[in-house]
């Protein structure tokens, strides 16, 4: 009992820019994530549903070390010569050390506001010490199935337990032919504990699935390296 680690609440967001919690035009909120660069989970805010979807896809990347929501603004000179500031929506750090500043914008807004042109000036003004590259991510860049699977992974990571994870790993190691998610869970006898462990195992490559498909009860799982 005395060896148990005292509960520590998640850390607050590191965002340098705040915004109203409610908006009639966008879905604003936050989630908690525990990343390799952090000693415990941290709150990460998003200003729209599109930002949330982009955030989930980055959190699902195996090469992601850290992600900073609303990082410090980049000062730049616009095409008109005016001094302006741009705050990326996220600043992602990969395990390799590469840092990516990420601007999220719906495609219609990108075209209407000539946002790519504006970002070209932001990129010129961005110091190499800030990030290695500036990426624009729109709704057209996202795959619905990949986003949904990333959301499932995020939920599973919050609830998975070590014993269930080990049991599922052992089952998948002995998988000789394709079976559905429902079959694997039924055989495991782990119910919802098995579901979370299985989602994490799929993400870790312990079983293959058909690319571009949402994970569901009838999703076929293939032996590692078999699909």
> What pLDDT shows up at residue 27?
74
Helix (H) or strand (E) holding 110: helix 107-113
Residue the block writes with tokens 């200003």:
47
> What pLDDT shows up at residue 192?
86
How far apart are alpha carbons 46 and 87 in whole angstroms?
A: 13
32 φ, ψ (degrees, to nearest 5): -115, 140
Mark which of 110, 141, 172 sits at the end of a domain: 141
> What pLDDT shows up at residue 2?
46
User: What global pTM score does this model have?
Assistant: 0.89
Length of the chain: 227
Beta strands in the chain (DSSP E): 29-33, 42-46, 64-69, 74-77, 83-86, 90-94, 99-104, 133-137, 179-180, 207-208, 220-223
> What pLDDT shows up at residue 3?
53
When divided into structural domains, the chain yields a total of 2
Q: What is the pLDDT along the chain (227 residues), one digit of tens a residue?
A: 445 667 678 888 889 877 655 555 557 799 999 999 988 999 999 999 999 999 999 999 999 999 999 999 999 999 999 999 999 999 999 999 999 999 999 999 999 999 999 999 999 999 999 999 999 999 999 999 999 999 999 999 999 999 999 999 999 999 999 999 999 999 999 988 999 999 999 999 999 999 999 999 999 999 987 65
Q: Are residues 117 and 172 in the same domain?
A: no
> What pLDDT shows up at residue 226?
62
Q: Hey, is 15 helix, strand or coil?
A: coil
Residue in 177, 184, 218 with CA at minimum distance from that of residue 201: 184
Q: What is the CATH number of the domain that holds 55?
A: 3.40.1350.10
Nearest-5° Cα angle at 60, 38 to 226: 130
Mark which of 95, 110, 141 sits at the end of a domain: 141
Torsion of CA 197, 202, 208, 213, to 10 degrees: 110
Residue in 53, 33, 47 with CA at minimum distance from that of residue 151: 53
C-alpha distances (whole Å) from 147 to each of 50, 72, 150, 153, 165 are 10, 27, 5, 10, 23
Write out the residue range of the structural domain in which residue 126 sits.
29-141
Beta strands in 96-145 (DSSP E): 99-104, 133-137
CB 46 within 8 A of CB 13: no
Q: What is the CATH number of the domain that holds 184?
A: 1.10.10
Q: Are residues 173 and 132 in the same domain?
A: no
How far apart are alpha carbons 190 and 156 in whole angstroms?
A: 14
């Amino acid at each position: 009992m005395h060896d148990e680690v005292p509960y520590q609440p998640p850390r607050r967001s590191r965002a340098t820019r705040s915004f109203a919690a409610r908006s009639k035009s966008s879905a604003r909120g936050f989630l908690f994530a525990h990343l390799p660069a952090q000693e415990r989970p941290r709150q990460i805010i998003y200003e729209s549903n599109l930002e949330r979807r982009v955030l989930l896809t980055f959190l699902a990347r195996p090469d992601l070390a850290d992600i900073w929501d609303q990082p410090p603004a980049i000062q730049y000179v616009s095409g008109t010569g005016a001094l302006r500031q741009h705050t990326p929506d996220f600043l992602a750090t990969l395990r390799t050390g590469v840092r990516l500043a990420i601007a999220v914008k719906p495609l219609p807004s990108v075209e209407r506001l000539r946002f790519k042109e504006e970002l070209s000036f932001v990129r010129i003004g961005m110091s190499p010490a800030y990030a290695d590259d500036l990426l624009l991510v729109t709704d057209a860049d996202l795959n619905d199935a990949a986003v949904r699977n990333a959301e499932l992974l995020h939920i599973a990571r919050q609830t998975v337990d070590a014993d269930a994870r080990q049991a599922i790993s052992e089952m998948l190691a002995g998988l000789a032919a394709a079976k559905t998610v429902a079959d694997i869970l039924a055989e495991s006898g782990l119910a919802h504990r098995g579901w979370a462990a299985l989602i994490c195992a799929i993400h870790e490559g312990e079983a293959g699935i058909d690319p571009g498909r949402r994970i569901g009860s009838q999703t076929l799982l293939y032996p590692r390296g078999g699909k």
